Structure 1
Amino acid sequence: MKKITIMASGSGTNAQAIIDHFATSGLARVNLVLSNKSTAQVLERATRAGIPALSFNRSAFAKAGPVSNLLKQEQPDLIVLAGFLWKIPDYLIQQFPQKIINIHPSLLPKYGGKGMYGHHVHEAVIAQGEKESGISIHYVNEAYDEGAIIQQVSCPVQTEDTAADLAQRIQQLEHEHFPNIIEGLLH
């Protein structure tokens, strides 16, 4: 059975969708959840699902060391960033080439890069008067949100939308499509 490691920084709704999707799958399972925040709700979600969950600090992540050693030991088939807000160090990208993916709440290359996450993205999309937005699932490389795009799914931006309205629509797309895209990558 293939192994998925999830890295997240927050509440973990995408992680939960992935955990639920693969809970009864014969293809893969979530073997580990990692977070850069010891208080992140994603750690509680993983623990409730019986999945090992650990947090780490910046120094444990910045250079090859504890996080790298743990991932070498676990040997995940795919590392999934699900709302993980730190840049992935080059050593991890080299250690797991084409095995780290991210989900971004816009149609990249628009509204990507450092500082463009969550409500910041949705506010920018609305401020620019975009007619559509969506999600981008992409491979992680050395630059924020510039890795090869695996798949994009769009949705309309309504003229009366607030950032919260758009965020809700984007989150529905994430929960619906992200687990299926992961499954496709693991086949």
Structure 2
Amino acid sequence: MKLAFLASHGGSAARHIASACASGALNGVPVALASNNSRSPALLWAQESGLKWAHLSSARTPDADALDAAILDFLLESGADTLVLSGYMRELGPRVLGQFAGRVVNVHPSLLPRHGGRGMYGDRVHEAVLAAGDTESGATVHLVTQGIDEGPILAQSRVPVLPGDTLESLKARVQATEGDLMLEALRTLQE
């Protein structure tokens, strides 16, 4: 696999996957990372890691179709064949989704289809789990399709919601499963 990443902030999934590639735990090569956030720590990490990198955002390219085309051009120039969303906080356009159909993966911090969809990301998801009184939460890696959090599920991890859990304690337990879950999903996709 030739892996490209889109990240909005720290890019923890990208870093975990790159480490797994370096150790031989995943048969893949990280090739590129783009961010919609010019101050993203993921961009600095990509530069330091020798990856092809770019800041591609609606602030720089306000036209959604032109931005979709710019992201696709960047991915194609990098030689990537698989795209990993590593905390990417924007919707992908039809060009990227069409070119990489069946090869775009995302991790969501709940057991989809529960607590997914537009506006459900980060702390909002964990707050919704707690507010709903769920006894179980976890993470889901899914293929990205046009509908938000609606693509086929590749892998899920499960963690209990404990009495007295706070947003931070639940979030930490879910996040602790996400890196290895993403590796499991990428291996499944590879097969």
TM-score, scaled relative to structure 2: 0.91
Match for 1:173 among 177, 182, 186? 177
Counterpart position of 1:109: 113
Is 2:32–2:75's contact at 8 Å kept on the other side of the alignment? no
Counterpart position of 1:41: 41
**Superimposed CA distance per residue, residues 79-121 of structure 1 (whole angstroms, 9 cap, x where no aligned partner):** 0011111011122111111011111000001111111111000
Counterpart position of 2:50: 50
Match for 1:79 among 60, 65, 83? 83
Q: Secondary structure at the match of 2:147?
A: coil
Match for 2:73 among 66, 69, 76? 69
Query: Structure 1 residues 176 and 185, CA, compared in 2 at 3 Å: closer, same or farther?
Result: same
**Superimposed CA distance per residue, residues 112-140 of structure 1 (whole angstroms, 9 cap, x where no aligned partner):** 11111110000110011100001111111
Counterpart position of 2:158: 154
Q: Secondary structure at the match of 1:70?
A: helix
Query: Structure 1 residues 61 and 14, CA, compared in 2 at 3 Å: closer, same or farther?
Result: farther
CA shift for structure 1 position 61: 7.8
Is 1:101–1:139's contact at 8 Å kept on the other side of the alignment? yes
CA distance in 2, matches of 1:100, 1:13: 17
CA shift for structure 1 position 186: 2.0
Deviates more, 1:169-178 or 1:48-57: 48-57
CA distance in 1, matches of 2:168, 2:189: 30
* 5+ long unaligned stretches in structure 1: none
- Does residue 17 (structure 1) correspond to residue 21 (structure 2)? The answer is no
CA distance in 2, matches of 1:60, 1:135: 32
Matched residues, number:
186
Counterpart position of 1:131: 135
Is 1:61–1:68's contact at 8 Å kept on the other side of the alignment? no
CA distance in 1, matches of 2:71, 2:188: 27
- What residue identity is the alignment partner of 2:17? I
CA distance in 2, matches of 1:77, 1:45: 21
Q: Which runs of 4+ in 1 moved over 6 A?
A: none
**Superimposed CA distance per residue, residues 148-180 of structure 1 (whole angstroms, 9 cap, x where no aligned partner):** 111111110111111111111111000222123
